[in-house]
A and B are shown apart, each in its own frame.
Chain A
């Protein structure tokens, strides 16, 4: 088999990453937007379809690998993170994307998710969070809002939902971003940063399930008010948002506070500058916690901290041992055993 090589000469287009398969999501499903953004990011990234592997578990979102040309593996429920780990460790030249959902990633696959994040394996994880089980037709998921009525919670759920970002940081994650299906520009910017980050890049994708949980993210999605309700974060940029770009975040004691530039003597200089690269995740958590209606919901790159990846450590440890060892071949290994002649 030929060795892997990045071909930087070729300019790819989104079309190069479209497979010949008919996309079978429900009409107007939020997943379409993510797929299209992803194909654009893949083209811009410049890694060939040949060197791209897309791994998924089970669920609506996990059908995505069939729609991307290149190498894909649609596996079993919850195990995508572990399978992607094996792919990356065995074949580190590949760019590996893991596609998962709120049920696949945070319920049945929770264990694999936290451990892949902890190891900092160099994969890009897109969690399609529609706060519902779609493919099994409408049960509540680990991210469904408390009290929400679904088929399996006819009187409202009694469970506290997970925040994917909080778990990522709890598992010592090095990258966390959040995107909204309909907000294409920030989606592509965040996915690109995720792809470039060395380590487990977790991107929570807020997607709408038009059939079982329509409007779950409706507060944010509405175009007319969106800019007042979300803040798009980028490293080194002021935490400013709003249609008139006059709102911002400041620290008030240990907490974040929304202020208006020009009111109460607040100037742009008073607004926090985002440091996504701060190893201390305290402020990142605060940003993840922000919820409507008191705060804008944070989109974009919330955390992006450089750290050694598991797959690089595997390779370098092997290289270090091999450099010192006199055992080079299988026969050398046999010769090194305690042995005697009969």
Chain B
């Protein structure tokens, strides 16, 4: 390898794109993981269609995986790609606008025939010209299909399996381009295809050939070196996606609380991976019921909560709508339950595989009656662990349903995660009645937190009847008394309000001396902080307040907001959090909204924020 041609860079964005059957998700995941092992900060964004195998070569079937590697702090998967891999013209067409001006485009030269071009609705023979690609983009045609066939000619494999292996050629090539030894990739593949030795050997052969191809034919390209990140605190790390982190957070909470974990669930994109992970964890004693529908997902969990388990259910927007009535029952019966909503584009079936923050108002208000619940949101793939843990802790200690909002972007995307130890995590004390309290009524509650005591069936002396009818404040019997109902409505609200005492204050990031405050919540933190940091680097001043706790809001919310002359709330919906803020902290708010099924890009945020500073 010609070391002279190696360029050291701080960060790089790579996007793999191809047909949904081309294995782009696997290629991207392998490359991200091996980069993380080499010490890079990473952030990934898988973006795929909801069709499992859309017609080959068409625009609707394009699947992409973007990874951002850095030697410094990496907050987002990046906006535009430095290096784009396009397996066919359709992938090129869908992604062309996101290639950087001086970027590199590697494409499968074998997949650019007249027929392929027509499938992707190109009308001329030169797709690059037709797309108006800048001539500063470096085109690297590689005959991926034929060279893979050549590479595997001595293998006894059907032609479909041979063609499928071309993603490994691309991976080998990218490893060469970024000076990545392929040992780690080999290790991953050995694990993944342990039970399919034929496929394994073919993949390893093609991977190695891809790496050597770059080396041997002296591709007229600089190779890149992204150094180890110095900003990552020392410790043991893995790369984790938000859905898996959520599952582990629930497990950790159940162990800390010394309770069995029960998940009632129904398959739904993009939330099912939480169920898959928990179904796997029988070693941790997790009980998973794959229910007959979304309603049974939550009601089996609510039954488990009544019976004394840490109960959870996971879903996405349409499923949350179906769970509405049961969440109301959890409010009325004052039972602990964690409802994880991995948000996707809506309304209705909407955009199942795309990301959005459009379920916030549904989470806050989507029930009959006065029905307050705790609502919180994770902001990175890794901190889905922390917020799933805290959601469980709050549910168990304060006897309330907790809705945890994540979304397709952080649910499927991954980031580095510093591995926790159970002993380091905050304690969880479920609100059990104390000994000597035998005979208490179902409505008996902790005088300070107002949380109802949780008496577990099977415990002598604490027999009780719970239910969805209004109860008498003192006796717990069914009651329609007007003043009693008012009192019960008020106490259920007071119980939720009290929780603001136990959650952390919202922090001000960026420049606290600024006049302009950016407000965000949930998964947009990475893009917002990147934009805010970039603007502050230019000498202008801007601050960021990012919310993970939404109901109740952190205690210092009003104080923080009032410090700034101008406040703009940025969110991936038409203004749901801002409408909530307007009722909680009245004042003037500007909005920046996007509802396109895609995350923000840091550059569009920078542009908008800069325009407000003029």
Contacts and interface: CB of A to CB of B under 8 A. Distances in A.
A340 B183 CA distance: 15
Interface stretch (A202-210, A216-224, A277-285, A323-331): A323-331
Interface stretch (B80-88, B278-286, B340-348, B573-581): B278-286
Given A82-B303, A340-B236, A91 B457 contact: yes
Contact of B283 (A53, A87, A333): A333
B311 A86 contact: yes
Interface stretch (B58-66, B292-300, B523-531): B292-300
Given A79-B299, A85-B289, A1 B458 contact: yes
Contact of B234 (A19, A93, A329, A342): A342
B460 interface: yes
Interface string B246-290: 001001100100001010100000000000000001111101010
A90 B282 contact: no
Nearest to B260: A90
B488 interface: no
B467 interface: yes
A89 interface: yes
A73 B469 CA distance: 11
Nearest to A93: B458
A168 to B, nearest CB: 16
Contacts of A339: 236-238, 419
A74 B465 contact: yes
A310 B285 CA distance: 16
B421 to A, nearest CB: 6
Contacts of B420: 334
A73 B333 contact: yes
B328 to A, nearest CB: 8
Contact of A89 (B39, B228, B281, B289): B289
Nearest to B39: A342
Contact of B421 (A49, A90, A331): A331
A89 B262 contact: yes
Nearest to B264: A86
Contacts of A158: none
A296 interface: no
B264 A1 contact: no
Contacts of A333: 248, 251, 281, 283-284
A328 B326 CA distance: 34
B301 interface: yes
Interface in A185-225: none
Interface string A74-118: 111001001111111111011000000000000000011011000
A339 to B, nearest CB: 5
Given A71-B464, A75-B468, A89 B287 contact: yes
A30 interface: no
A74 B296 contact: no
Interface in A124-183: none
B292 A90 contact: no
B291 A318 contact: no
A314 B458 contact: no
B432 interface: yes
A333 B254 CA distance: 14
Contact of A82 (B37, B300, B457): B300
A1 B432 contact: yes
A90 B308 contact: yes
A261 B326 CA distance: 56
Nearest to A323: B283
Contacts of A53: 306-307, 457
B459 interface: yes
Contact of B303 (A48, A51, A86, A338): A86
A267 interface: no
A66 B457 CA distance: 15
A21 interface: yes
Given A325-B283, A342-B237, A2 B460 contact: yes
B274 to A, nearest CB: 16
A334 B418 CA distance: 10
A62 to B, nearest CB: 9
Given A79-B295, A327-B283, A50 B465 contact: no
Nearest to B38: A340
B422 A72 contact: no
A161 B328 CA distance: 32
A321 interface: yes
B463 to A, nearest CB: 5
Nearest to B188: A338
A49 B463 contact: yes
Interface string B308-327: 11010000000000000110
Contacts of A51: 457-458
Given A87-B457, A90-B303, A82 B296 contact: yes
A94 B307 contact: yes
A94 B300 CA distance: 15
A72 B36 CA distance: 52
Contacts of B457: 50-51, 53, 71, 87, 91, 94
B557 interface: no
A342 B282 CA distance: 31
A76 B367 CA distance: 14
A82 B297 CA distance: 8
B383 interface: no
B235 A75 contact: no
B303 A74 contact: no
Contacts of A325: 282-283
B149 interface: no
A338 B469 CA distance: 49
Nearest to A114: B292
A90 B293 contact: no
A339 B37 CA distance: 8
B105 interface: no
Given A82-B295, A89-B300, A339-B236, A329 B468 contact: no
A244 interface: no
A65 B232 CA distance: 57
B517 interface: no
Interface in B402-448: 419-422, 432
A337 interface: yes
A325 B465 CA distance: 40
A2 B306 contact: no
B317 to A, nearest CB: 21
B456 interface: yes
B329 interface: yes
A13 interface: no
Contacts of B469: 74
B500 interface: no
B311 A90 contact: yes
Contacts of A61: none
Contacts of B33: 338
Contacts of A322: 282-283, 285
B478 interface: yes
A111 B291 CA distance: 10
A318 B419 CA distance: 25
Nearest to A70: B463
Contacts of B252: 330
Contacts of A331: 421-422
A318 B468 contact: no
Contacts of B364: none
B535 interface: no
Nearest to A111: B292
Given A53-B457, A90-B260, 5 more contacts: A50-B458, A76-B299, A94-B458, A339-B419, A342-B232
18 contacts: A2-B458, A50-B458, A50-B461, A50-B463, A53-B457, A66-B467, A69-B463, A73-B303, A79-B299, A82-B295, A86-B300, A91-B457, A112-B292, A322-B282, A325-B282, A330-B284, A333-B281, A342-B233
Interface of B: 33, 36-37, 39, 228-229, 232-240, 248, 251-252, 255, 260, 262, 264, 281-285, 287, 289, 291-293, 295-296, 299-309, 311, 325-326, 328-329, 333, 419-422, 432, 456-461, 463-469, 477-478
Which 6 A-B pairs give the minimum distances between C-beta atoms? A86-B303, A74-B467, A90-B304, A91-B307, A86-B300, A4-B458
